[in-house]
Structure 1
Amino acid sequence: MEPGTLWSMGDYASNGDRWAAASRELAAETVRTGMTVLDIACGPGPFAIAAAHAGARATGLDAAPRLLEVAKQRAGDAGVAIEWIEADMTAVPLGDGAFDLVASAFGCMFAPDAEAMAAELVRLCRSGGRIAVLAWTPESAFGSMAPLVGPYLPGGGGASPVERWTRPENVKAVFAAQPVRLQFTVRTVDVVWDDLDHAVRDITENNPAWLGIRAAVAPTGRWSDLEADLRALLAARGRAEPGRFTLPVEYLETLAAKD
């Protein structure tokens, strides 16, 4: 399935809103007035919108037209001007060195060829500029979902490209051929739902990746077992509080300075 089709499934905008604070925190850390900023795999646009609020000239790029429509609407509601581009993140139709900052919050980690994706990030960044990437750590609740799902998938599912962005040693290998200096920080974002039932429904009914998983597993008759395992994972990692269920999720922040 093409990425633009996959990520237009479900309701990733409302799903991703639950961890958008991580994107806004990254913008607060990295964006300065007057910068040119590219948000790759921007989804509904939280990083691009935060960058524009901070005074940057922001561009958001995504392969999913449905998500770009949401991003455009939200930018309009926020009163910020952003250029939106529908394109594959692995082949961006923009010039070399066009941006002071190239960022991807939980997006470029899905690229099938991590080294090619890293080269594209570096190509788009000017000399002396920075690249920022966010990805869920393997130990996090979200990172633990891949090994949870694998045994249920026909053929086992295989290795996920996301793994290349989740540990410092893996990211160093991905950028090994590029003229960058890397630094890493592990951070945590609290993902909140009304209760545990709501969390399970939101993930399995709105998240495009999980819709794809359900389509693959349901014909085997094991979907209810996988859903029960997901519920157990969330219950073990999260905490029930009055009126809400909170899941702390760790992620790796990679900042790369281009020489």
Structure 2
Amino acid sequence: MTDTLSFDEIKAKQQKVWSSGDYGKIAWITVPLADTLVEAADIRPGARVLDVATGTGHVALAAARRFCEVTGIDYVPALVESARRRAEAEALDIDFREADAENLPFDDDSFDYVFSAIGVMFTADHQRAADELVRVARPGGRVAVASWTPTGFIGQLLKTVSRHAAPPPGAMPPTRWGTAETMRELLGDRVSSLNTTTATVAQRFPSAEHFADFFLTHYGPTHAAAGRLDDDGKRAFRDDLIALATTSNRSTDGTLVSDWEYLVVVADKA
């Protein structure tokens, strides 16, 4: 029987996963979600904004372009540095820091808006991460989160990963954040309203095979999982990724066009 790992042990393993591959390339996929999320939250110029698990900074950049005072945090140093370079390229003044979504280095009630796009869903301790999002938002402030759904493409991809390389014992499925029921449970009565909408983002690749190879090379969860497999296991894993992409494909010209579903949650702090 395998002993369940502590959240700190799971977090250490997850940080290694997200530091593997090259998430900077995968992050292209989530660019459209940033504008969707900040618009869903009805962001206002001049607001104090925090982007949690910022990755390469999509939401932070989107908020700064709307003339907000923005801070972005992530626990992967290379991603924080990439976000800083992107902000510098656009001459945007954003405070990017290395920090943990489960232990935000900010006082209570510090921000008007607290965002996370495809970020906090991958924390080890889901409740603690949700608690932190609410804690640092001011009363009447807004928490807005975008997460892949369990039934959508990435939800199915993560299930495929788990079949080939089991997650750490005790790890929570990240796509819990992609259901309205779980979000109501995580945020609880600390928010006065909670609205959810489901959206999709179209993703395009030259072929299903190209998608599989691109994700095996660059996406942390698939890259790390493949590294744990022997040659036969890697071939079977790649075949399953190709099959998943092929099943989702709505293109008829040999390329891959797939709609990836995510949940947008907007809640106001009580």
Task: Please state which band the TM-score falls in when normalised by the shorter chain.
Answer: over 0.9
Deviations 1:177-219 (A, max 9, x none): 5344211000111122233222111111100111121122x14
Task: Report the TM-score, using the length of structure 2 for normalisation.
Answer: 0.89
SS of the residue corresponding to residue 104 of structure 2 reads coil
Contact in 2 for aligned 1:41/1:60 (Cα 8 Å): yes
For the 8 Å contact 1:190–1:248, the answer to whether it is kept is yes
CA deviation after TM superposition for structure 1 residue 157, in Å: 6.6
Alignment of 1:185-200 (within 5 A): 185-200=197-212
The question of whether the paired residues in 1 share the 8 Å contact of 2:213 and 2:238 is answered with no
Paired residues in the alignment total 258
Look up the match of 2:260.
249
Contact 1:19 1:191 in 2 (8 A): no
1:150-161 equivalent positions in 2, closer than 5 A: 150-154=162-166, 160-161=172-173
In the alignment, structure 1 segments of 5+ residues that lack a partner are: none
Q: Give the aligned residue type for 2:205.
A: W
Q: Distance in 1 between matches of 2:172 and 2:89?
A: 36
Change (3 A) 1:196 1:18: same
Q: Hey, what does 2:53 align to over in structure 1? A: 41
Q: Does 1:206 align with 2:212?
A: no
1:1-259 alignment, distance < 5 Å:
1-30=12-41, 31-154=43-166, 160-176=172-188, 178-216=190-228, 218-219=229-230, 221-240=232-251, 244-259=255-270
Instruction: Give the conservation status (yes or no) of the 8 Å contact 2:124–2:171.
Output: no
Q: State the shift of 1:3 in Å.
A: 4.5
Q: Kindly state the Cα deviation for residue 36 of structure 1 after the two structures are TM-superposed.
A: 0.6
Q: Identity of counterpart residues, as a percentage? A: 31
Q: Which runs of 5+ in 2 are unaligned?
A: 1-11
Q: Using the TM superposition, give the Cα deviation of residue 241 of structure 1 relative to its aligned residue in structure 2, in angstroms.
A: 5.6
Q: 1:241 to 1:59 in 2, by over 3 A?
A: farther
Q: Is the 8 A contact 2:161 2:222 kept in 1?
A: no
**Structure 2: distance between partners of 1:213 and 1:83:** 33
Q: What is the SS of the residue equivalent to 1:34?
A: coil
CA RMSD of aligned residues (A): 2.0
Contact 1:19 1:190 in 2 (8 A): no
Partner-residue secondary structure (3-state), 1:126: strand
CA distance in 2, matches of 1:8, 1:151: 22
Contact in 1 for aligned 2:150/2:176 (Cα 8 Å):
no
Tell me the amino acid that sits aligned with residue 50 of structure 1. Answer: A
Q: 1:38 to 1:113 in 2, by over 3 A?
A: same
Distance 1:131 1:152 in 2: 35
CA contact (8 A) 1:196 1:245 kept: yes
- CA deviation map 1:62-119 (0-9, x unaligned): 0111111111111111121100110111101111111000000000001112111111
* Greater alpha carbon shift after TM alignment, 51-60 vs 207-216: 207-216
C-alpha offsets along residues 23-69 of structure 1, whole Å, 9 cap, x if unaligned?
12212333210011100000000110010001111111001111111
Deviations 1:119-144 (A, max 9, x none): 10000100000001111111111111
Q: Which amino acid aligns with 2:93?
A: A
What SS class does the counterpart of residue 46 from structure 2 fall into? coil
SS across alignment from 1:138 = coil
Equivalent residue letter for 1:227: R
Q: Secondary structure at the match of 1:143?
A: helix
Structure 1 residue 253: Cα displacement: 0.6
Compared CA separation, residues 179 and 149, structure 1 to 2 (3 A): same
- 1:155 to partner: Cα distance: 8.1
